[in-house]
Amino acid sequence: MPKFAANLTMLFTELDFLDRFDAAASTGFKAVEFLFPYSYKSDEIRERLARHDLELVLHNLPAGNWSAGDRGIACLPDRVDEYRSGVARAIKYAKELGCSQLNCLAGIGPNGTDPKVLYETFTENLRFTANQLEQSGIRLLIEPINTRDIPGFFLKGTQQAVEIIRDVGSSNLKLQYDVYHMQIMEGDLASTIERNLDLIGHIQVAENPGRHEPGTGEINFDFLFDFLDSIGYQGWIGCEYKPKTTTVAGLEWFEAYRAR
Protein backbone atom coordinates (compact mmCIF):
# COMPACT_ATOMS: atom_id res chain seq x y z
CA MET A 1 0.00 0.00 0.00
CA PRO A 2 1.34 3.47 -0.82
CA LYS A 3 2.82 5.54 2.00
CA PHE A 4 1.55 9.12 1.90
CA ALA A 5 3.20 12.18 3.47
CA ALA A 6 1.32 15.44 3.96
CA ASN A 7 3.03 18.44 2.40
CA LEU A 8 2.59 21.10 5.07
CA THR A 9 3.46 23.95 2.74
CA MET A 10 0.35 23.14 0.68
CA LEU A 11 -2.06 21.42 3.08
CA PHE A 12 -3.86 22.81 6.15
CA THR A 13 -2.84 26.33 5.16
CA GLU A 14 -5.68 27.85 7.18
CA LEU A 15 -3.55 26.98 10.23
CA ASP A 16 -0.26 28.37 11.47
CA PHE A 17 2.61 26.26 10.18
CA LEU A 18 3.40 24.51 13.46
CA ASP A 19 -0.26 23.63 14.00
CA ARG A 20 -0.33 21.85 10.64
CA PHE A 21 1.64 18.98 12.15
CA ASP A 22 -1.21 18.37 14.60
CA ALA A 23 -3.75 18.50 11.77
CA ALA A 24 -1.79 16.07 9.62
CA ALA A 25 -1.61 13.55 12.45
CA SER A 26 -5.27 13.92 13.34
CA THR A 27 -6.30 13.12 9.76
CA GLY A 28 -4.21 9.97 9.60
CA PHE A 29 -0.89 10.94 8.07
CA LYS A 30 2.18 9.22 9.51
CA ALA A 31 4.70 11.46 7.77
CA VAL A 32 5.10 15.02 6.57
CA GLU A 33 7.21 17.09 4.20
CA PHE A 34 7.48 20.81 3.45
CA LEU A 35 9.51 23.27 1.44
CA PHE A 36 11.65 24.98 4.07
CA PRO A 37 12.17 24.79 7.85
CA TYR A 38 14.51 27.76 8.12
CA SER A 39 12.06 30.33 9.49
CA TYR A 40 11.60 28.19 12.61
CA LYS A 41 13.84 26.84 15.30
CA SER A 42 14.55 23.18 14.79
CA ASP A 43 13.43 22.32 18.32
CA GLU A 44 9.97 23.83 17.61
CA ILE A 45 9.52 21.53 14.63
CA ARG A 46 11.09 18.56 16.40
CA GLU A 47 8.62 18.89 19.27
CA ARG A 48 5.64 18.77 16.89
CA LEU A 49 7.06 15.73 15.12
CA ALA A 50 7.66 13.93 18.41
CA ARG A 51 4.26 14.87 19.80
CA HIS A 52 2.54 12.82 17.11
CA ASP A 53 5.31 10.34 16.20
CA LEU A 54 5.47 11.86 12.70
CA GLU A 55 8.34 11.20 10.33
CA LEU A 56 9.79 14.10 8.36
CA VAL A 57 10.59 12.61 4.97
CA LEU A 58 11.72 15.64 2.99
CA HIS A 59 12.54 19.32 2.96
CA ASN A 60 14.45 21.51 0.51
CA LEU A 61 17.88 23.02 0.58
CA PRO A 62 17.84 26.83 0.92
CA ALA A 63 16.68 28.20 -2.43
CA GLY A 64 17.63 31.86 -2.37
CA ASN A 65 15.15 34.67 -1.81
CA TRP A 66 11.82 32.94 -2.43
CA SER A 67 9.70 36.07 -1.95
CA ALA A 68 11.83 37.88 -4.55
CA GLY A 69 11.26 35.16 -7.13
CA ASP A 70 14.18 32.79 -6.60
CA ARG A 71 13.26 29.16 -7.16
CA GLY A 72 16.60 27.67 -6.29
CA ILE A 73 20.13 28.87 -6.97
CA ALA A 74 22.06 25.65 -7.63
CA CYS A 75 22.59 26.36 -11.34
CA LEU A 76 23.58 30.01 -10.92
CA PRO A 77 27.33 30.57 -11.43
CA ASP A 78 27.43 33.83 -9.48
CA ARG A 79 25.85 32.32 -6.34
CA VAL A 80 27.93 29.22 -5.71
CA ASP A 81 29.24 30.41 -2.35
CA GLU A 82 25.71 31.26 -1.18
CA TYR A 83 24.45 27.88 -2.34
CA ARG A 84 27.20 25.92 -0.60
CA SER A 85 26.72 27.83 2.65
CA GLY A 86 23.08 26.79 2.45
CA VAL A 87 24.06 23.14 2.20
CA ALA A 88 25.69 23.28 5.63
CA ARG A 89 22.60 24.93 7.08
CA ALA A 90 20.30 22.33 5.54
CA ILE A 91 22.37 19.46 6.90
CA LYS A 92 22.18 20.92 10.38
CA TYR A 93 18.38 21.15 10.23
CA ALA A 94 17.97 17.73 8.64
CA LYS A 95 20.08 16.02 11.29
CA GLU A 96 18.26 17.78 14.11
CA LEU A 97 14.87 16.86 12.61
CA GLY A 98 15.72 13.31 11.58
CA CYS A 99 15.10 14.06 7.91
CA SER A 100 16.82 11.60 5.59
CA GLN A 101 16.28 13.40 2.25
CA LEU A 102 16.96 16.92 0.99
CA ASN A 103 15.71 18.27 -2.32
CA CYS A 104 17.81 20.64 -4.41
CA LEU A 105 15.94 23.13 -6.60
CA ALA A 106 18.03 23.95 -9.67
CA GLY A 107 16.71 27.46 -10.19
CA ILE A 108 15.77 29.67 -13.12
CA GLY A 109 18.46 30.19 -15.71
CA PRO A 110 19.12 33.91 -16.34
CA ASN A 111 18.43 35.12 -19.86
CA GLY A 112 21.56 35.17 -21.95
CA THR A 113 23.54 32.73 -19.80
CA ASP A 114 25.18 29.88 -21.70
CA PRO A 115 23.23 26.67 -20.87
CA LYS A 116 26.56 24.82 -20.69
CA VAL A 117 27.66 27.12 -17.87
CA LEU A 118 24.40 26.50 -16.01
CA TYR A 119 24.81 22.76 -16.49
CA GLU A 120 28.39 22.73 -15.28
CA THR A 121 27.54 24.87 -12.26
CA PHE A 122 24.61 22.65 -11.36
CA THR A 123 26.49 19.37 -11.70
CA GLU A 124 29.51 20.64 -9.75
CA ASN A 125 27.24 21.86 -6.96
CA LEU A 126 25.47 18.49 -6.95
CA ARG A 127 28.77 16.59 -6.66
CA PHE A 128 29.72 18.76 -3.71
CA THR A 129 26.30 18.39 -2.09
CA ALA A 130 25.93 14.66 -2.63
CA ASN A 131 29.27 14.10 -0.93
CA GLN A 132 28.47 16.40 1.98
CA LEU A 133 25.07 14.83 2.55
CA GLU A 134 26.38 11.28 2.26
CA GLN A 135 28.78 11.93 5.13
CA SER A 136 25.72 12.76 7.26
CA GLY A 137 23.58 9.85 6.05
CA ILE A 138 21.23 12.10 4.05
CA ARG A 139 20.14 11.48 0.47
CA LEU A 140 20.13 14.25 -2.15
CA LEU A 141 17.25 14.64 -4.61
CA ILE A 142 16.74 16.78 -7.70
CA GLU A 143 13.30 17.67 -9.06
CA PRO A 144 12.29 18.53 -12.62
CA ILE A 145 9.60 21.24 -12.63
CA ASN A 146 7.25 22.31 -15.41
CA THR A 147 8.08 25.53 -17.23
CA ARG A 148 4.45 26.64 -17.45
CA ASP A 149 4.30 27.29 -13.72
CA ILE A 150 7.94 28.37 -13.44
CA PRO A 151 9.13 29.73 -16.81
CA GLY A 152 12.82 29.26 -17.39
CA PHE A 153 13.33 26.60 -14.70
CA PHE A 154 16.57 24.87 -15.61
CA LEU A 155 15.67 21.27 -14.76
CA LYS A 156 12.47 20.48 -16.64
CA GLY A 157 12.38 16.85 -17.68
CA THR A 158 12.97 13.30 -16.50
CA GLN A 159 15.58 12.40 -19.10
CA GLN A 160 17.51 15.59 -18.39
CA ALA A 161 17.53 14.70 -14.69
CA VAL A 162 18.65 11.12 -15.44
CA GLU A 163 21.54 12.39 -17.54
CA ILE A 164 22.59 14.79 -14.78
CA ILE A 165 22.45 12.05 -12.15
CA ARG A 166 24.64 9.83 -14.30
CA ASP A 167 27.05 12.69 -15.02
CA VAL A 168 27.39 13.56 -11.33
CA GLY A 169 28.21 9.93 -10.65
CA SER A 170 27.08 9.69 -7.04
CA SER A 171 24.95 6.86 -5.70
CA ASN A 172 23.68 9.39 -3.16
CA LEU A 173 21.85 11.46 -5.80
CA LYS A 174 18.31 10.42 -6.79
CA LEU A 175 15.31 11.78 -8.66
CA GLN A 176 12.30 13.37 -7.04
CA TYR A 177 9.51 12.57 -9.49
CA ASP A 178 6.60 14.98 -9.26
CA VAL A 179 3.59 13.54 -11.08
CA TYR A 180 1.94 16.94 -11.57
CA HIS A 181 5.00 18.57 -13.14
CA MET A 182 5.79 15.61 -15.36
CA GLN A 183 2.19 15.16 -16.53
CA ILE A 184 2.42 18.71 -17.89
CA MET A 185 5.87 18.32 -19.44
CA GLU A 186 5.82 14.71 -20.64
CA GLY A 187 2.83 12.55 -19.75
CA ASP A 188 3.52 8.79 -20.05
CA LEU A 189 3.78 8.64 -16.27
CA ALA A 190 3.67 4.91 -15.52
CA SER A 191 6.25 3.77 -18.05
CA THR A 192 8.58 6.65 -17.18
CA ILE A 193 8.44 5.78 -13.49
CA GLU A 194 8.98 2.08 -14.17
CA ARG A 195 11.88 2.74 -16.53
CA ASN A 196 13.64 4.95 -13.95
CA LEU A 197 12.52 3.24 -10.76
CA ASP A 198 16.08 2.57 -9.58
CA LEU A 199 16.83 6.31 -9.71
CA ILE A 200 13.62 7.56 -8.04
CA GLY A 201 13.98 8.39 -4.36
CA HIS A 202 10.70 10.22 -3.78
CA ILE A 203 7.40 10.84 -5.57
CA GLN A 204 5.00 13.76 -5.21
CA VAL A 205 1.44 13.98 -6.46
CA ALA A 206 -1.15 16.54 -7.48
CA GLU A 207 -3.81 16.59 -10.17
CA ASN A 208 -3.73 18.32 -13.50
CA PRO A 209 -5.25 20.77 -14.24
CA GLY A 210 -5.37 22.91 -11.12
CA ARG A 211 -2.80 21.13 -8.95
CA HIS A 212 -5.63 19.91 -6.70
CA GLU A 213 -6.09 16.63 -4.82
CA PRO A 214 -6.12 13.26 -6.61
CA GLY A 215 -9.42 12.47 -8.29
CA THR A 216 -10.26 16.01 -9.42
CA GLY A 217 -8.57 15.99 -12.83
CA GLU A 218 -7.26 13.94 -15.72
CA ILE A 219 -4.76 11.61 -14.00
CA ASN A 220 -5.91 8.08 -13.14
CA PHE A 221 -4.51 7.92 -9.63
CA ASP A 222 -6.30 4.67 -8.76
CA PHE A 223 -4.31 3.01 -11.51
CA LEU A 224 -1.10 4.87 -10.74
CA PHE A 225 -1.03 4.06 -7.01
CA ASP A 226 -1.75 0.39 -7.70
CA PHE A 227 0.92 0.44 -10.38
CA LEU A 228 3.51 1.82 -7.96
CA ASP A 229 2.73 -1.07 -5.63
CA SER A 230 2.98 -3.60 -8.45
CA ILE A 231 6.46 -2.45 -9.55
CA GLY A 232 7.76 -2.39 -5.99
CA TYR A 233 8.12 1.32 -5.25
CA GLN A 234 9.06 1.51 -1.57
CA GLY A 235 9.40 5.24 -0.98
CA TRP A 236 7.04 7.90 0.29
CA ILE A 237 4.48 9.75 -1.82
CA GLY A 238 4.31 13.42 -0.91
CA CYS A 239 0.88 15.06 -1.21
CA GLU A 240 1.97 18.41 -2.63
CA TYR A 241 -1.33 19.75 -3.89
CA LYS A 242 -3.62 22.74 -3.40
CA PRO A 243 -6.95 21.59 -1.93
CA LYS A 244 -9.85 22.48 -4.19
CA THR A 245 -11.84 23.68 -1.16
CA THR A 246 -10.33 22.76 2.21
CA THR A 247 -7.76 20.13 3.06
CA VAL A 248 -10.13 18.04 5.19
CA ALA A 249 -12.97 18.20 2.65
CA GLY A 250 -10.61 16.98 -0.04
CA LEU A 251 -9.25 13.94 1.82
CA GLU A 252 -11.84 11.42 0.60
CA TRP A 253 -9.23 9.98 -1.77
CA PHE A 254 -6.86 9.46 1.17
CA GLU A 255 -9.53 7.86 3.33
CA ALA A 256 -10.26 5.39 0.54
CA TYR A 257 -6.65 4.19 0.56
CA ARG A 258 -6.47 4.06 4.33
CA ALA A 259 -9.55 1.81 4.30
CA ARG A 260 -7.93 -0.79 2.04
Q: Which domain holds residue 248?
A: 3-258
Average pLDDT, the chain: 97
Using the predicted structure, report yes or no on whether residue 260 has a pLDDT greater than 90: no
The domain that holds 77 is classified in CATH as 3.20.20.150
- Output the furthest CA–CA distance in the chain (Å, rounded): 53
Per-residue model confidence (pLDDT) at position 139: 98
Give the C-alpha separation, 24 to 16, whole Å.
Answer: 13
**256 — pLDDT class (breaks 50, 70, 90):** confident
Q: Which of 143, 218, 252, 255 is catalytic?
A: 143
Total domains, the chain: 1
Say which residues have a Cβ less than 8 Å from residue 17's Cβ, sequence separation at least 6.
Answer: 8, 34, 40
Percent of the chain predicted with pLDDT > 70: 100
Using the predicted structure, report yes or no on whether residue 84 has a pLDDT greater than 90: yes
Query: How confident is the model over 83-93, as a mean pLDDT?
Result: 98
Integer CA distances (angstroms), 83 to 47, 117, 136, 142, 171, in order = 28, 16, 18, 15, 21
Amino acid at 49: L
Query: How confident is the model over 195-218, as a mean pLDDT?
Result: 98
Give the C-alpha separation, 239 to 171, whole Å.
Answer: 26
- Helix/strand/coil for 220: coil
Q: Is 255 a catalytic residue?
A: no
Using the predicted structure, report yes or no on whether residue 258 has a pLDDT greater than 90: no
DSSP β-ladder status, 173-178 and 139-142: parallel
Give the C-alpha separation, 57 to 61, whole Å.
Answer: 13
Per-residue model confidence (pLDDT) at position 86: 98
* pLDDT tens per residue across span 143-179: 999 999 999 999 999 999 999 999 999 999 999 999 9
Which pTM does this prediction carry?
0.97
Give the C-alpha separation, 38 to 62, whole Å.
Answer: 8
Residue 148 has φ and ψ, to the nearest 5°, of: -80, -45
- Helix/strand/coil for 147: coil
Q: Is 143 a catalytic residue?
A: yes
Q: Which of 82, 134, 240, 252 is catalytic?
A: 240
Q: What are the strands, taking DSSP E only, across the chain?
A: 3-7, 31-33, 55-60, 101-104, 139-142, 173-178, 200-205, 236-239
Give the C-alpha separation, 77 to 160, whole Å.
Answer: 19
